Every structure is written in C-alpha cells, then in structure tokens.
Amino acid sequence: MANIFSFCVFIVLSSLCFSKAQHVKVYELKRGYFSAKFTNYGATMLSVILPDKTGKLDDVVLGYDLVNDYKNDTTYFGAIVGRVANRIGGAKFILNGVTYKTDANDGKNTLHGGSKGFSDVLWTVKSYKKHSHVTFSYESFDGEEGFPGNLSVSVTYMLLHKNKLAVKMMAKPLNKPTPVNLALHTYWNLGGHNSGDIMSHTLKLFGSKITPVDSELIPTGEIVPVRKTPYDFRRPREIGSKFDQLPHGYDINYVLHKSRRSRHLRKVAVVVESKCGRKMELWTNMPGVQFYTSNMLKNEKGKNGTVYGKHAGFCLETQGFPDAVNHPNFPSQIVKPRGIYKHFMVYRFTAH
C-alpha cells in the first residue's frame, strides 16, 4: 500500500509540475516602435526594443532566446528578485527577538531571496492589455526560504506614452512582520544586447554616498562619500573611465539624493550611448540603487547566439540598502501586517 501511495503522490506532483510548465507564457507590451516582452516565470523582463537616432530598432536588454533558459540561469537576467533582494550577511537576521535563518545560497550569505527566490517561481497573470500593462502576482508562504509570514506580492509593468516604461512593485504582509526589498535585475546595453561591452556608455548617477562592502560584498554598515573616488558619477563620465582603479568593475549600493519636492520620485541616473544616441533616464521612490557592471558574466550564451562576456551589460537596481536587516542605521525594510510595501520605477527612453 505504501508503494502504491508513493507512486500516486509522484504522479499527482508530476502532473502539477507539468501543468504549471504549460502556463509559462510571454506577454508583449507595444506602442508604436517601442515594445517590451515579459514572462510570468519570475515576473521577468525579456526584452525592450527601442529605435536609435536613425530609427534602427534594437533589443537593449540581455537575455535568452527561450523562456526555459531563464529557469536554469545564475545571472538573474531581467528577473524580479526577492523576498529580499541583494545580500543578507550570515543568512540570518533578528526580528522582534526571533532569529530567522534564511537560505544560504551565496557562500554563507543569502543572495536575492535564496535558492528559490521570487525570480524562480511562477507568477499569476492578474491583468493584461497589450497597449497598456501587464500585472503579475505571487503568494509567498510563511517560511519560504526562511522568511516569516505570508506575503501577497504584485508587479505591474506599464507603457506610458511612447517612450516611458513604469514598474510598480507592491507587497502586503498578511500575518507577520517581514523584511521586503524587491528589485528588478535587468541588464541593459543601450547599443543593443549584442553590441559588446558597456564601457563607453556615459553615466550620471544621482548619489553622493555609497555603502561600502567587505570581501563577501556584505555592507560594513558605513555610509561614505564618493568624492575623490572611482565611484563618483555625479558628473557624467564613461563607465569604464576608472576601471584601472576598480579592475573588477562596479557592484555597489548608492545612497540616492532625496527629491526636492515631497511625494516626487528621486532621479536615479542618466545613461547615454553616444554612437546610437540612445538615452535612458530612471526615477524611483527607493533610497538606494545597486550599480552593477556584470562583472560575473563569462561566456554566457544569450539571444540569437550572442555570447555575453564580462561587462556586456549594466544594472541599475533600485532598492532598499543591502543587508538592512542587520544594520539599524540603514532605512528599515520591515513591513508589518496592514502595511504595504510600494516600489516605483519610471524609465524614459530617447534618442538624439
């Protein structure tokens, strides 16, 4: 009987997994020449196609040809990462006197929510209109990857006008306080995903301080100015212009300037690729942004047979500060029941 029962359970679970696989789909948003594609696997951004200054269309997002390839990647291409993005030192934190141990998937630390974070689950499509938006939702359970409480999460991607893309991430704890820090892990290359490295892109970043990290990329708890360091992008300069001082590239959280007007989003960055003329501007309501120059990419086979090498793309991941759960001087990421986590991003794309 036990063997028959085990066999029946196996068949049921297998059919459920197969059923879920059948529901992984791609959703396109399109207005004029501006289009983007997303999948409900990881609520992932698959592509963004934009014209350059001559009208030539290119996909400016790194990724894979097949959705199935996103299930086995270690790059987090275009994914929504969480429940807590970035790193948690020692894969543990204390909340209301209780020690929570999270999944250690980056040495002894937790990265992007654990081995099976939000980037590796199937989201539900709640709403979709091709010329407007797509909304994905996910119900995270109590104890998932070690985090406390049930959490209802949603992500909406919206096209605004003919050149703006907005992202709205929301989360509501249902029964326990919990840390929440979602991030969109898109790798951008404004010259086109297959155009080589991003060293000559010009970046202006609206942050005058960073949160330094140790050898395991865990914040030390300090907040230090970027002045007279290779991290200073307060004035526009090429991303690769000071790589002689940072041979491994950038992977650091910037403390963003506050908006001068209350309730207005903070300006995050302006990035320009001079050859094609494309410009990307970004705004958010989050206090930080992780600037990452794809230092860990190595011979990653991507779209149309393109092999992505080191520095093939850049990430600007708006976020709360990394490891904030273990640094009381960082802005808190704890959300209580009846509270709502709200994270907004707005991209504007132009070409001149």
Q: Give the span between the Cα atoms of 285 and 203, in whole angstroms.
A: 20
Domains contained in the chain, CATH given: 26-351 (2.70.98.10)
Q: Is residue 341 within 8 Å of 332, Cβ to Cβ?
A: no
Question: 72 labelled as ligand-binding?
Answer: no
Q: Give the span between the Cα atoms of 210 and 127, in whole angstroms.
A: 38
Is residue 185 part of the annotated active site? The answer reads: yes
Question: 186 labelled as ligand-binding?
Answer: yes
**Annotated active-site residue in 112, 144, 145, 185:** 185
Type of residue at 345: M
Is residue 131 part of the annotated active site? The answer reads: no
What pLDDT does 263 receive? 77
Question: 86 labelled as ligand-binding?
Answer: yes
For the chain, state the CA radius of gyration: 20
**Annotated active-site residue in 144, 273, 300, 317:** 317
Question: 58 labelled as ligand-binding?
Answer: no
What is the model's pTM? 0.92
Q: Give the span between the Cα atoms of 219 and 87, in whole angstroms.
A: 9
Q: Give the span between the Cα atoms of 67 and 44, in whole angstroms.
A: 9
User: At 284, which helix (H) or strand (E)?
Assistant: strand 278-284
Query: Cis ω on the peptide bond leading into residue 227 (within 30° of 0)?
Result: no
Per-residue pLDDT of the chain (352 residues; tens, 9 = 90+): 334 333 333 333 333 343 344 489 999 999 999 999 999 999 999 999 999 999 999 999 999 999 999 998 899 999 999 999 999 999 999 999 999 999 999 999 999 999 999 999 999 999 999 999 999 999 999 999 999 999 999 999 999 988 999 999 999 999 999 999 999 999 999 999 999 999 999 999 999 999 999 999 999 999 999 999 999 999 999 999 999 999 899 999 999 999 887 778 999 999 999 999 999 999 999 999 999 999 999 999 999 999 999 999 999 999 999 999 999 999 999 999 999 999 999 999 999 9
Question: 87 labelled as ligand-binding?
Answer: yes
